[in-house]
Amino acid sequence: MNGLKSATLWIVIFVGCILIVLTVNQKSKSEKINIIHFFKLAKDKRIIGEVVDKGGRLSGEYVKQDGKWGRFTTQYFDSQAEKVLQVMLENDIQYDPRPPSALSQQMLYSLLPFIPFLILFFLIMRQIQGTGNKALSFGKSRARLVSEGQVKVTFDDVAGVEEAKEELREIVEFLKDPKRFTRLGGRIPKGVLLYGPSGTGKTLLAKAVAGEARVPFFFISGSDFVEMFVGVGASRVRDLFEQGKRSHPCLIFIDEIDAVGRHRFTGIGGGHDEREQTLNQLLVEMDGFDPNEGVILIAATNRPDVLDPALLRPGRFDRQIAVDIPDVRGREKILEVHSRDISKAPDVDLAVLAKATPGFSGADLANMVNEAALLAARNNKTAVDQDDFEEAKDRVLMGPERRSMILLPEDKKITAVHEVGHALCAKMTPDSDPVHKITIIPRGRALGLTSILPGDEHKHQTRRRLKSYLVYMLGGRAAEEIVFGEFTTGAADDLRKATTLAHRMICEFGMSEHLGPRTFGEPDNQVFLGREIAHTRNFSDETARKIDEEVQSFIQEAHDTSLKILRDNYDLLKNIADILVERETLTGDELDDLIQGKPLPPLKNDGNKGLPPNPVRAKKTTEISETNQGLGEGNLNKLKPWKTPS
């Protein structure tokens, strides 16, 4: 930025000098007159100062008609020399005869005013080329070269994506020892596409390849190819691969390739635009008439569905590697990698944390570990314990606690009843996931949360499991209806999710007994917009009516079931809700203890979250726990699992 300011200053100086010289030249410009006019000026006494004679060329100053001064030049012949001399003597004009200038001297005098401008121009050009704005190199590639040892990330720092690591490790080994793979007639893959959700480690894998490879590694973003100037993107693609050819064997990594690799012929104003020309050049460079031997392209995207088919074919991207959300074993390994440099307390169990974080990506887990370390440091702890990790997990899922938010006792009671309704319906429904935590501490936009986590990660969802999930989602609204005889707005999100799930069960999964095993509606893919914004309707109005009836039937059946479960356990619902109001958070194990009639231990000085101790509250909670010791023995018989209707 400083270089750009300096170059601008030089340009201003250059223009100013030109204006000054032009002004001086304009003022010193001589008027050409004939010799007769000169004689008249001399007789009128209007010639002032000295008249210079250079080989028959007279020059000097005179007074104009308006009284201003001016310069003149005139030429006389040799035959007029005596008369010119006589006129100047008669009128007392000073006469200075000089020899004529040589041709080289005249040229030097003519070029002399332009020499400073040439020097200034040279300095300005050097200043512009020295700045980082690349004003004169728009078409040059912006790819950066990673030298050996510059990147410290290796495959040991990547976990949870073992298959992708093996594929990329083979690419690195091929570059180190190509004869090992080509001795049987095989060829090196030309391209590898890494695709998957955001945060799963695609860019981290590329960094590991850069750290492991002993060959030049160029990396660039897909957006670096696109500029407002026509032809710049295609020029940068050509320059990038030319650099790769000069450095082969080498690796080129393009991050977010969907910025230039989207479907062609999808522009609103026509198919001919700058992005498509960039893609065309990329297609040619990857697999065109002139092969790029020894140049391997690695690209990453989280939108493989919008990429152009010509880009995905073998010969360009020979390998397409899915980098998906890690499973429970992958999450445990990722937690081990990210917690290597953190002081952990003895009670930290990464296996438990891995089971409690289904759906977390690698980036989510890294953020959770970092949040846990910050929480422990904030509370002046010497090590990060399990409670810190649990709190960090909730922060990543829902945001920080809003403990400053003041809830009316009525709102707190409604929230407790609502969340306990969810928990009891999940507890008493077969095929439902176990309850992990119940809380009425506001987080984000939610006033409370009932968290259920799968014991095992199922790859398939059965009809019974999805129906059980509908019962769990409608349990909060059913609890409000039973306890208060009224509905609140707190179930709005539950109703929306339940309706969406029921609709998918019928229209996508074919789980309706009346409509049969078929799907309804086809997505209308708008590749230019990059998402599905509409569905093509491929069914009649009569079928649409039946779909609405089936959705209503699924939701009503789940609602009736949740009402029956909670009515049969009304006392248990109210008592657990009272305890939740006092304790604000219950774990899954504490919920099991309450159902079995076991007293809960007193709160640890209101302990966590950095709030001051509150012994009065702890004492009150202990008393409530003791008064509810009789919950379990009689109520255990009521907790008969609900049999899902067929």
Q: What is the pLDDT of residues 53-65, one digit of tens each?
A: 777 777 777 777 7
Contact 218, 240 (CB under 8 A): yes
pLDDT (tens digit per residue) in 85-111: 777 777 777 766 766 655 555 555 555
Dihedral sign of CA atoms 182, 187, 189, 190 in order: positive
Among 321, 528, 572, 358, CA closest to 457: 358
| Distance from C-alpha of 600 to C-alpha of 584, rounded to nearest angstrom | 13
The pLDDT confidence band at residue 554, using thresholds 50, 70 and 90, is: very high
Class of domain 330-398: mainly alpha
- Identify the CATH assignment for 2-123 out of 3.40.720.10, 3.30.720.210, 3.30.930.10, 3.90.1150.10: 3.30.720.210
Is residue 627 scored above 60 in pLDDT?
Answer: no
Per-position b or e across 15-26, b if 16+ CB within 10 A of its CB = eeeeeeeeeeee
What does the pLDDT read at residue 478? 92
Is residue 612 scored above 50 in pLDDT?
Answer: no
Residue 419 among the catalytic residues: yes
Among 451, 459, 485, 458, CA closest to 567: 485
From 276, 371, 419, 584, active-site residue: 419
| Integer angstrom CA distances of residue 553 from 22, 467, 504, 514, 548 | 91, 12, 14, 11, 9
Q: Where is average pLDDT lowest: 7-16, 18-27, 57-66, 438-447? A: 18-27
Is residue 485 scored above 80 in pLDDT?
Answer: yes
Per the CATH hierarchy, to which homologous superfamily does domain 144-322 belong?
P-loop containing nucleotide triphosphate hydrolases (3.40.50.300)
Report the CATH architecture of 409-638. Up-down Bundle (1.20)
Give the SS3 label for residue 535.
Answer: strand
Q: What percent of the chain has pLDDT over 90?
A: 8
Contact 59, 28 (CB under 8 A): no
Among 147, 314, 117, CA closest to 216: 147
What does the pLDDT read at residue 638? 41
What does the pLDDT read at residue 57? 77
**In the chain, where are the structural domains located?**
2-123, 144-322, 330-398, 409-638
What does the pLDDT read at residue 238? 82
Among 235, 231, 283, 239, CA closest to 257: 283
Contact 246, 198 (CB under 8 A): no
